Structure 1
Amino acid sequence: MTGAMYSTNTAWPGTLASVRALGLREYQFSPAVTIFFCGSCGSPMFCYERRSANGAGQAGEEETLEVFTGVLSVGGRADAVRVRDHIFVGDTLDGGAAIWMRHLPGQTTPLPCYRSWRQTSGLVDPVAMAEPSRDGIRNQTRENVPFHCHCRAIDLVLCRKATDNLARRQPAGHSARSGHSSPYKLTAWFDASRSSQTCAGVDVMSWVSVKLRSIGFASFPGTRFPSNIEDLRLATSDPRRPSQLRNLAHYKTRDGGYQHFCSNCAASVFYADGPFPGTVNVAVGLLHAVDGVRAAGVVDWAPGASRWGDFVHAGWRGELVGATRRNVEEWRRQEDGRSAIPRAD
């Protein structure tokens, strides 16, 4: 939906008419869901759901208006926002981000995870879902990994071999773990900076760093993609740009980087900053790997290579980000321990 691996929404006390009066862009995500986002920076702001009693989105017996938590202000009581459950975990194949977001502040038991709509589907265990996905990891032989936004106006492909094992090259201020990177496997990093929170609408964003020369157009393999971040920025500003980039817009963030997003469906696509002009960060939620949303056959998850935004660690968001960080680090330790045990194939 947003380029993140998940979205978090909470009830908004306003009316649909008042939201529409803001002049935001609208995107029909599904028959049941409409997203309202800022056309200037791509921030997803509100989500309107209109569902029938059975959750299929056929009629308006139940309507909800929600705000994306990433755009909420930093302050607030520690209990102002609480995550109550996860829905559509079944779509992730491998449990997705729910695997490290089940034990959150204010909860004494793991958060329930539903296969689809909470009203009509059963519970799933993201940890158990991760086991079958390991077969997908071992069978991950595709050299090219597609990534695209929901509306597919941005439809690209990542050539794994052209990445030259970028796992050890991180944005400025990030420190990657050493000794854990596999050939053609990239290091993902978590981003709780205020810029990414507002641009993606979530409280913890995930990126993977790749060389721009490893990116191509899915439907036009002979067309070259911009090879550095300045050319990428200029290409998205040029009214004569190729049709494949027509919906790729950019916005300069408060930290001096550039967020690139789809101007049609609001998905965050790239984050680019200055230290590595030939490198761009791709939103992990856009990757379409055979093993699932975490794309573990392509991506190495390294919590040490992240910026957790210590400056926002206050109130409800501070607790949420802090708990997510602890869960990620514990999950990574367990994964490292599992990979150290020889397999009997």
Structure 2
Amino acid sequence: MSTIILGSMLLIHYVLSAHVPFLTPVNYLFNGMLVPNAIFLLLVLALEIVYRRWPNGMELATVISSILTSHSYFYFIHDSYDTLPIILIFPLLISMMYFKKRYLIITLAMCLIAMVALYVQPGRYVKEEDLIEIIIVGSILFCAAMTGLGVIHRSHALVEKLDQSMQSEQELLVQTIVMERMTKIDPLTGLHNHKSFHEYFAQLLEQYNRSPFPLQLAILDIDNFKQVNDTYGHWVGDIALKQVAACISKHITANAFAARYGGEEFVVLLCETSEAEAYASIERLRKSIALNPVAELNRRPVTVSVGLHAVAPGETKAYCFQQADHALYESKNNGKNRTTVQ
């Protein structure tokens, strides 16, 4: 901005200095160019300091600096050009950038006061041309301010519509997430459901076949669960299911995936652990379940039988599940509350 103003003033001096008496080097170059441009550069420097040390006050400092800039040019060279008062529109445009009505109104008031104060000074005769200029420039400033208020009002309406649109989009996203969760999460236990397990297991096997890594499948089945339902009621059975699920969630690692497969049966996929580590982890889980009594079962615990299978290259999802299921039946047939590796 300083470069543009300085260049335009040099062009005026070059074109008109020979024909206009007041464009003398001392009067014009010093008062008309050097002083106001120096003030402008000092204000820019002050704004840089404010930006670095007090960034929260940057908006107000910028508006004030724009007012001081326009007033300095207006004060030093207003006698040279009849159209110069129009420079007072500059701070109005700056104040519009922040979309705050109070900035615009305060700026308009200060510009009008500065313009009137410059023409109506003690001991100075106010000519008719001055009054006409005050009226015309004042009207232009008012029109600019009204336009600015319209822009601010319109921007607020657009922001409100944008907020409403974003809120609707967020609500739709939340609903989508909730619906997706409902299709993948078992509502009783909070674990993944049958469908979610098969999708995840299929993805794991794809990765495994491309680049093998330790992968084990465990199937857990609550022992004598039908007897619990028949003796204490299904609501107690639901409590036992939730307690087992909570124990599973507590003991599995970040590399494991747990789901309720159906009824009283749960599945756990263990990744990035050796067969020995997987067996030890499942055994800790099994023992933890057996050591947690269920209050509604007269403080008796429920137990689980487990079948564990280590996935090998080339095995399908159905084969892996079949092997773990065979291991589970061996645990059931050999006394229950135990882990069998197939």
Indicate whether the TM-score tops 0.5.
no
Which has the larger share of strand?
1
TM score, norm. by length of structure 2 = 0.20
Which has the larger share of helix?
2
Bigger CA radius of gyration: 2
Relative contact order, higher structure (CA 8 A, sep 6+): 1
